[in-house]
Amino acid sequence: MGLQLGMALGYWDAGPPPGVTALVTEAERLGYDSIWAAEAYGSDALTPLAWLGAGTTRVRLGTSIAQMAARTPAATAMAAMTMDHLSGGRFVLGLGASGPQVTEGWYGQPYPKPLARTREYVQIVRTLIARGRSEFAGEHFRLPVPGGTGLGKPLRSTLHPLRTDLPIVLAAEGPKNVALAAEIADGWLAMFYSPYDDAHYRAALAEGFAREGARRTARDFEVVCRVNVVVDDDVEAAADRVRPYLALYIGGMGARGANFHYEVFARMGFEAECARIQDLYLAGRRDEAAAAVTTTMVERVALVGPRAKIAEELTVWKGSLLTTMTVSADVAQLATIAELVHG
């Protein structure tokens, strides 16, 4: 199939993004494989997909990500089955642990041991989608809940799933979480993936695939990642459009010493740059933080510059671990990107 294209809807800012319905319609017409909606602590990931998916017929509809702290495993299983029926089997459940700031500060849920919590969560979701009984005794989740009235009993979904093997993809950045995705999921939602520095990801995936009971192999495992693509004859001007985005994640997401995105770039060899970006961002000097993101950093994880330069660099991305590259662009850029990727 080659490298597929997806459209990253992200999450809303102060309100719904203007013109998004036309963008989704055009993306499907141009041959994009999927659209992906996100959530943080504002708009949710499922409602926009249901609304926009009603106007499409072919594209897959994925969450990138549905945060686990936002819903019990049962609520997520219900939503996934419902979406899959409504879309005729086009739904992809993307799950992630988010970070401690959002998990504890917004959802009021504990964050420690996210890998163990993820393992239990996914197991319950899969059981309930397959119409298994709501019985589970884990470290983080117990069904039925102990205590209470004592009237709780194991139940089966009244809704029969359209697909019992509905795909689940996991968001992961650290090697341990990537290995977990390879073991228990159908795909990996990457972030700030670099095809120039991915040996540690390949090793983590291989470790997960080798574990007993792993669901997939490298041949049938999906790897989805958002990649900023900016076509402009001026490389620096194109990079300038990406720098604030990288500065936000490197400098402003999470806390000092607890920022997974920072760690991704530090592993690429940019630790000194990351420290400066974070210092500036946390001091409220956001413009300076963005300016401190070097063009080299941008080019490791994004495609920026003239068409010929991007076309040449795409050969590296097409030979990478990615199976689906998601992009965010206007109508004209969506067409240009499709031409560059699909030829």
Residue 45 buriedness (CB in 10 A; 0-12 / 13-18 / 19+) = buried
Please give the Cα distance from 325 to 311 (Å, whole number).
14
Q: What phi-psi label fits residue 43: left (phi over 0), alpha (psi between -120 and 50 degrees) or beta?
A: beta
Quote the pLDDT of residue 1: 61
One pLDDT digit (tens) per residue for the chain, 343 residues: 689 999 999 999 999 999 999 999 999 999 999 999 999 999 999 999 999 999 999 999 999 999 999 999 999 999 999 999 999 999 999 999 998 889 999 999 999 999 999 999 999 999 999 999 999 999 999 999 998 898 999 999 999 999 999 999 999 999 999 999 999 999 999 999 999 999 999 999 999 999 999 999 999 999 999 999 999 999 999 999 999 999 999 998 877 877 889 999 999 999 999 999 999 999 999 999 999 999 999 999 999 999 999 999 999 999 999 999 999 999 999 999 999 999 8
Please give the Cα distance from 35 to 12 (Å, whole number).
15
φ, ψ for residue 117, nearest 5 deg: -65, -40
Quote the pLDDT of residue 257: 76
Tokens (6 digits) for 61 = 């509809």
Quote the pLDDT of residue 255: 73
Please give the Cα distance from 277 to 285 (Å, whole number).
9
Please give the Cα distance from 226 to 325 (Å, whole number).
6
Please give the Cα distance from 320 to 188 (Å, whole number).
14
Quote the pLDDT of residue 254: 72
